[in-house]
Amino acid sequence: MDINHIQSAHCESGVIVNMLAYNGLKLSEPMVFGIGSGIFFIYLPFIEVNGVPVSNFRIWPGGIFSRSMKLIGAKVKTQKFRSVQKSMDVLDELLSKKIPVGVMCSVYYLPYLPDAYRFHFNAHNIVIWAKEGDEYIVGDPTLSEMKRIHKDDLAKARWAKGFPEPAGKLYYVEKMPEDTPELKDAIRRGIKRTLFLIKSAPLPFIGVKGICYLN
Amino acid sequence: MKKEDVPQDDEKIYENKFGPGLIKYAIDDKGEYTTVQSMGWEPEAIALKQALEEVDFKVTFALKEVREGRKSPIFYYMEKKLLDVGILAGYMNMWKWQVKRHFKPNVFNKLSDEILSKYARVFNIEVDDLTNFKQQ
């Protein structure tokens, strides 16, 4: 498999950039973020995490992936599991077909990160490129180089508890569009949807109203 | 921010694990956005250190509670492994109130070997570290 790891600033958009590039479509991270309507705003004063009210400026996890792939015209598949064994078997099977797989995981179980970064945060995304013996070759989009991770660590990371719960979630590109996608249309629809999401929510916590509310 | 103004603060807290650095977006000579690798940023490192100090504080407090017989070792290891009651209950497949009950030393002393070894697996320690809690 011809692997070309591309480093990016953020995990979900980075995974998409890597998957598309592997399938012959080279898009920049900001382009993927835009087409996928990544920007968003939400402020939830009544939900506290570690004693701080929640505010967030991106769309929900998985949203950039599903939206950008849809607009580009790629067919994708997302799977969650009930058993650890099944989730690893499906991953191995996809890798044996040379399909790079995105997985949702907790950063706590990723040994290649500095200790200070390893807390129980479950919404990280990485690309699994291949398996060699008991180790997986992993492209963490935020890092400059690919890493290796033992299968036990990966299983733990994919089955972390807390919120959100990955439950072994994996996703991959099943089929790319036959013709080179018409980006103009995808970009226009991405912008339109972003505006819709941040402007038209009826609740005061979301979008532009949320920003005003926080102020 | 201009490309050359992107902070390049190499801090111990990154343990040299980020190689040439993480990606940041900045403006090049032509005024267009581009990517730059950044070694790190001092304010971020300070914030991380503060978060770790808070963890240390909680762990020290938990240790005192266990030593003075007010809490069970489960409480100590929960803090030590950066967990909270909700996440720990998730791993144990229990309700939060059940886990909280196990913080009580007299309840803890009656726990079955099965439950103790499950806790030990979650904390990635030996059962002995729980039952013969001395303090590492």
**Tens-place pLDDT, residues A150-198:** 999 999 999 999 888 999 999 999 999 998 888 999 999 999 999 999 9
Q: What is the rounded CA–CA span in Å between residue B131 and residue B119? A: 11
Q: What is the rounded CA–CA span in Å between residue A1 and residue A67? A: 27
Q: What is the pLDDT of residues A105-133, one digit of tens each?
A: 999 999 999 999 999 999 999 999 999 99
Which chain A residue has its CA at the smallest distance from B83's CA? A120
Amino acid identity of residue A101, one-letter, is: V
Which chain B residue has its CA at the smallest distance from A153's CA? B124
For residues A43-59, give the mean pLDDT: 85
Amino acid identity of residue A4, one-letter, is: N
- pLDDT tens across the length of chain B (136 residues): 999 999 999 999 999 999 999 999 999 999 999 999 999 999 999 999 999 999 999 999 999 999 999 999 999 999 999 999 999 999 999 999 999 999 999 999 999 999 999 999 999 999 999 999 876 5
Start-to-end Cα distance in chain A: 50
Inter-chain contact A161–B87, Cβ cutoff 8 Å? yes
User: Could you say which of B15, B24, B52 has the minimum Cβ distance to residue A9?
Assistant: B24
Q: What is the rounded CA–CA span in Å between residue A61 and residue A207? A: 17
Q: What is the rounded CA–CA span in Å between residue B58 and residue B42? A: 25
- Mean pLDDT rounded to a whole number for chain A: 93
Orientation angle between helical segments A84-96 and A151-158, nearest 10 degrees: 120
At residue B130, the pLDDT reads: 95
Inter-chain contact A116–B52, Cβ cutoff 8 Å? yes
B37 — contact with chain A (CB < 8 Å)? yes
Confidence of residue A54 (pLDDT cuts 50, 70, 90): confident
CB proximity list for B53: less than 8 A, separation 6 or greater:
none
Q: CA nearest B6: which of B59, B32, B30, B42?
A: B42
Q: DSSP of B18-45, one letter per residue?
A: TTT-EEEEEE-TTS-EEEEEE-B-HHHH
At residue A168, the pLDDT reads: 96
For A:9-48, CB contacts with B below 8 A are 9, 30
CB proximity list for A48: less than 8 A, separation 6 or greater:
A54
At residue B135, the pLDDT reads: 61
Interface probe, candidates A52, A120, A147, A163, chain B, greatest B C-beta count within 10 A? A120
Which chain A residue has its CA at the smallest distance from B91's CA? A161
Confidence of residue A215 (pLDDT cuts 50, 70, 90): confident
Instruction: Supply φ then ψ for residue A189, to 5 degrees.
Output: -70, -35
Confidence of residue A47 (pLDDT cuts 50, 70, 90): confident
**HSE-up of residue A153 (Cα within 13 Å, Cβ side):** 17
The percent of residues in chain A predicted with pLDDT above 90, rounded, is 82
At residue B136, the pLDDT reads: 52
Query: Would you call A18 helix, strand, or coil by DSSP?
Result: helix
Q: What is the rounded CA–CA span in Å between residue A191 and residue A168? A: 31
Amino acid identity of residue B107, one-letter, is: V
Burial class of B74 by CB neighbour count within 10 A (0 to 12, 13 to 18, 19+):
buried
Instruction: Supply φ then ψ for residue A38, to 5 degrees.
Output: -70, -35
Which structure tokens are listed for A128?
A: 């699994």
Q: Is the pLDDT of residue A2 over 60?
A: yes
Q: CA nearest B109: which of B93, B126, B130, B124?
A: B130
